[in-house]
Structure 1
Amino acid sequence: MSSKWDPSKWVLHRLYSKHAGLRKRLPPTSILTPASLSRSLKSYGAVYIKGKNQHTGSGIIKAWKTANGYRFVKERGKRVNTKSIHDLYYMVRDGRPSRSVLVQKAIDLASIKGRPFSIRLMLMRDRERKWKYAGMLAKVSGKGSIISNVRRGGGYATTIDKALAQSLNYGRKQIKGTKRRLIRIGFETIRHATKSGYLSHETGLDLGIDKKGKIWIIEVNLVYPSYGLFNKIKDKTFYRKIKRLAAAYRKRRKD
């Protein structure tokens, strides 16, 4: 069950669908049913199946059409084939309660040496409770993994500059412009959430860039977003800034 404190992926999807500017950046998403699964696979060819309240890449499944039926893989596990959409539905639902699972269009993300990456962007409130940009990095999927969560997927973290240069061959000017757009989208996202009554003092957005350069909103974490990965990259500037903002906000709350 979700709340204003910890809203589910579905609640947030519906929330951002009401924002004209953000709506176009949301991958098409539905509650998982045999009909929605069949329709999504026909429309997009490949989909992700994820629990409404699951985080850190836990339980995520990718399914796609094949010449003889369907195939799916869970996180970085074994690929499974099936010919029936109904068999596929029950397999990917995996015993989870009805209406607790989502089916979402699989975005053809930009990749580094064949390994897709997503972007973690951190926004945090400062001592004066003003939202500040705290940093961003790229999370590169592990070999054979369908998720970019580094711990679960066996991938690695790198700077957004390196990721954009290596994947899309962006130059300095394109990288700078893309980072500005990512930050702007981040602020639009948190403003819409807070105006709608969702309380938060730090948020971690998982954004994606497809192979054509379009930016997508994959997931918004309004509660306890992880930022340990910022300590995994060589330049600790963002990690120090995140720790400084977090400490300042905690101190303000105690004053």
Structure 2
Amino acid sequence: MVTKWDPSKWEIHKLYSGHPDLKKLLPHTEILSRGTLSEFLNRYSYVYIKGKNEHTGLRMIKARKIRHGYEFVNVKGDPIYTESFEDFYEQVTEGRRSSSILVQRAIDLAKIEGRPFSTRLMLMRDRREKWQYAGMLAKVAGEHSVVTNIRRGGGYAATIEHALSKSLGYSREQIERMKEKIIDTGYRLIRYAAKRGYKTYETGIDIGIDKKGQIWIIEVNLAYPSYGLFNRLEDKTYYRRIKELAAEYKKKK
């Protein structure tokens, strides 16, 4: 039984790859090598290259194969071009072992005024150790950023209602159905982790929604999830609930 867990992205991917349904929501991901990078670039329009143990969008690269070479952006800014695959591989692995890096299919996320967003879902245990829905928001990427992490790429926090209305034109009923789907997926994620022996009392889950309304599991933080973003919303209801649940659980301990 695992009592303390600070998982890598790869460990999380392997964990949920074992679930018959949740694995369908995971973007195709592999350990980086010349072979896997070449395969992904030929197969997908865009790919992400990111460290197994790096968080907050650190050194996140979005790349694609173009007619006469390769193009990539490191976190944010203007694209960098290179003609040679070998030169491209050397640049995206600079200072890192390839075994510590993942290559992943990039999901075509829904956008607000041309800027992609992902959702952050918070689930927490109460004093009776029952899981409770604590809040949800949208993380909108900064201008020219390839990550929705606001600390790293700029951007802003918004309500999920605003994000779904502006990006996909959802009605109130469609928004509520999507929220229920995301929350249900979150509960399934934490229950499966518990079933596999992982203990946690709070989790921050990043869910992507593509342009067709399909949800994708981007990241599951089962240890030390950040929730400061909720304090950026004008309505502090979720932030207060998160703080209250955290204090309630710690008092019980």
Normalised TM-score (structure 2)? 0.97
Contact 1:51 1:60 (C-alpha < 8 Å) held by counterparts: yes
Which blocks of at least 5 consecutive residues in structure 2 are unaligned?
none
Q: Report the counterpart of residue 244 of structure 1 in structure 2.
A: 244
Count of residue pairs the alignment pairs up = 251
Report the Cα offset of residue 210 of structure 1.
0.1
AA aligned opposite 1:18: G
Contact 1:140 1:156 (C-alpha < 8 Å) held by counterparts: yes
AA aligned opposite 1:159: T
Report the Cα offset of residue 86 of structure 1.
2.0
Q: Report the counterpart of residue 140 of structure 1 in structure 2.
A: 140
Normalised TM-score (structure 1)? 0.96
SS at match of 2:178: helix
The 4+ residue runs of structure 1 with deviation greater than 4 A are: none
Q: Report the counterpart of residue 207 of structure 2 in structure 1.
A: 207
Return the alpha-carbon distance in structure 1 between the equivalents of residues 138 and 118 of structure 2: 6
Which blocks of at least 5 consecutive residues in structure 1 are unaligned?
none
Q: Report the counterpart of residue 44 of structure 1 in structure 2.
A: 44
Return the alpha-carbon distance in structure 2 between the equivalents of residues 186 and 104 of structure 1: 21
Return the alpha-carbon distance in structure 2 between the equivalents of residues 166 and 65 of structure 1: 31
SS at match of 2:128: coil
1:85-164 pair list within 5 angstroms = 85-164=85-164
Return the alpha-carbon distance in structure 1 between the equivalents of residues 14 and 85 of structure 2: 26
RMSD: 1.0
Return the alpha-carbon distance in structure 2 between the equivalents of residues 223 and 4 of structure 1: 9
Contact 1:139 1:156 (C-alpha < 8 Å) held by counterparts: yes
AA aligned opposite 2:198: Y
Q: Report the counterpart of residue 67 of structure 1 in structure 2.
A: 67
Return the alpha-carbon distance in structure 1 between the equivalents of residues 89 and 188 of structure 2: 35
Contact 1:4 1:197 (C-alpha < 8 Å) held by counterparts: no
Percent same amino acid among aligned pairs?
60
Return the alpha-carbon distance in structure 1 between the equivalents of residues 55 and 47 of structure 2: 18
Return the alpha-carbon distance in structure 1 between the equivalents of residues 145 and 242 of structure 2: 28
SS at match of 2:21: helix
AA aligned opposite 1:249: Y
Q: Report the counterpart of residue 25 of structure 2 in structure 1.
A: 25
